[in-house]
A and B are shown apart, each in its own frame.
Chain A
Amino acid sequence: MRSVVPVLTVVAALLALWYAGAVFLNLQWEVDQARRAGADPGLQAMIVNTLAQDRPLLPAPHQVIAEIWETTVEKKITSKRSLIYHGWITLSATLLGFALGTALGMTLAVGIVHSRAMDLSVMPWVIASQTIPILAVAPMIIVVLNAVGLSGLIPKALISTYLSFFPVVVGMVKGLRSPDAIQIDLMRTWSADRGQVFRKLRWPSATPYLFASLKVAAAASLVGAIVGELPTGAVAGLGARLLAGSYYGQTIQIWSALISAAVLAAGLVMVVGLVQRAVLARMGMAR
């Protein structure tokens, strides 16, 4: 709670910067317009106009909020122009990819912790896999998967999976290895087998690590879904809105898609955080 005032101050400062930037970037266009019309509306009027252009270089925050309001509340959800419609398409791909990525990441982590061969052979490739800019080749993967008959939700979800499994593997491996040698020895004195050690010691101690990774993974899979919507086939989703906006110079549309993506990301991370708090409290690990 101590940090509410500073955070609000910083957010207010960012908004002020945004307005200043909007005036600064859009002024040139107003000046050109005035010169072309041979009129001189005066600096003050021009500055007011910079915040209400149709296709500004940088739309002002209130324009973006108005656009979001118009495309969420005032449009029917089934309409192709509704942001909720596009957001839901992106969200469903994100959630599927997130679930697949988490499952894959956990499986790999369990294998890596329990098998030396997997640790030595798979782990370096898991790390190397992330230096491949998958986002950059996502459009190609979508096109190829479309050619084999996979279309719609699944290709996007696979991109999200690829992005979200990595943080889960790394966090889970760290977490499953976090019990001290002394704790594992204690389990052994109770003649616990590997499964019991896993269920009663490793898994519980990995839970906090898991949730930290899940937050990163949720954000990453949203990025994956959005980029997966960029290529030609995409007609719906926040990524498609971005691309269409950039083709037709609709900056307000780009920014409203961006802001809704940001809200979505924040929402996902928050949901994971709430689940984390509930689970850790039940396990008696609440901080």
Chain B
Amino acid sequence: MSLAGRPAILAALSLALAWATLSAASGDGGMPAWGWIAMLGAWAAAAALVSALANTDPGEGALRRLRDLAVPLIFGATLLFLWEAVVRGADISAVLLPAPTAIATRFSASTAVLWADFQQTFLKAVLAGYALGCGAALLTAIAIDRSDFLQRGLLPVGNFVAALPIIGIAPIMVMWFGFDWPSKAAVVVVMCLFPMLVNAAEGLKAADAMQKDLMRTYAAGYWQTLWKLRLPAAAPFLFNGLKICSTLALIGAIVAEFFGTPTVGMGFRISTEVGRMNLDMVWAEITVAALAGSAFYGLLAAIERAATFWHPSQRG
């Protein structure tokens, strides 16, 4: 109990100070000096709480997992609190930086619009482009895998292209494929293609000679070896590529919408609402993008954990 005692006191202290800060900030004419002191106190108490939690040893099992989840959450909540307190306390105009509560209000008030934008950008452009791009890259990797010549030629070029600012092709794709989502999907395809290709080609080399020899002693053919040994062995690399592409895909689709879209979509909404100085709506859209991106990434990480449970990086 003595272990849990100090964090509990610190948590109570930081919550109380945070409440005091926010009630000080809600008055007119900016925050009085004691409000700022309370804010710094809440911040210090939260920092002490995080470091106290991090330096305790909760042993193994559920308690540890709870701790590892709680620490980043407390850190994030502290950041949000500081944001709210500074915006309210210093009377920062909503045109510059809206407070988190204002964003949350706007978010819940306009879920219909946000959902329509999400559908247009994420469910249509991102998913279609992502599947096509990553699929094509994987097939290309398998195809060039049998030819040493093509590999030596294509991989340096692929590495080079993966480092290029591919996002720049967005205006060209809009010109070719029109304003609707296919042009955004095309940008996503090109953005995903090369990172995935490089990773997949690397992964197909992961199975070592001993394992391939074993497959040969089983009289396994090329496809059997590919399916049962080399693709599973490549899985950590494939997932690495898939994860990199998941964030690239979202970025590509949103940025492509700046160059022309129908009147729906996350990129369209962001650029028009910036023009109308509705920054709370912009931030609500950013929240959707961040949630979608994190969920996409988290889903891939969960699949990875289930599919590559044997890999050292998953056992640690």
Set of chain B residues within 8 Å of A119, measured between Cβ atoms: 54
Contacting residue for A120 out of B54, B167, B169, CB 8 A: B54
Known: A57-B175, A116-B55, A246-B174. A121 touches B72 (CB 8 A): yes
Contacting residue for B163 out of A143, A144, A215, A254, CB 8 A: A215
Closest A residue to B67 by beta carbon equals A120
Set of chain A residues within 8 Å of B310, measured between Cβ atoms: none
Distance (Å) between the CB of B66 and the closest chain A CB? 12
- How far is B147's CA from A9's CA once the two chains are assembled, in angstroms? 14
- In the complex, how many residues of chain A place their beta carbon closer than 8 angstroms to a beta carbon of chain B? 62
Contacting residue for B55 out of A2, A117, A144, A215, CB 8 A: A117
Contact with A along B84-111 (1 / 0, CB 8 A): 0000000000011100000000000000
Please provide the chain B residues from 175 to 214 with a CB less than 8 Å away from any CB of chain A in the complex.
175-176
Contact in complex: B251, A242 (CB < 8 Å): no
Known: A140-B282, A230-B258, A265-B165. A2 touches B289 (CB 8 A): no
Closest B residue to A137 by beta carbon equals B286
Known: A251-B175, A266-B163. A131 touches B247 (CB 8 A): yes
Contacting residue for B165 out of A11, A117, A216, A223, CB 8 A: A223
Contact segment of A33-41, A62-70, A122-130: A122-130
Q: Interface of B with A (CB < 8 Å)?
A: 47, 50-51, 53-55, 68, 71-72, 74-76, 79, 95-97, 149-154, 156-157, 160, 163-165, 167-169, 171-172, 174-176, 247, 250-251, 254-255, 258-259, 266-267, 270-271, 274, 279, 282, 286, 289-290, 293-294, 296-297
Beyond the given pairs A6-B152, A130-B247, A251-B172, 6 more chain A to chain B contacts, judged by CB atoms under 8 angstroms and listed by A's residue number, are A7-B152, A9-B149, A117-B51, A125-B79, A131-B247, A137-B286
Q: Interface of A with B (CB < 8 Å)?
A: 2-3, 5-11, 14, 25, 57-58, 115-117, 119-125, 128, 130-137, 139-140, 143-144, 147-148, 215-216, 219, 222-223, 226-227, 230-231, 242-243, 245-246, 249, 251, 254-255, 257-258, 261-262, 265-266, 269
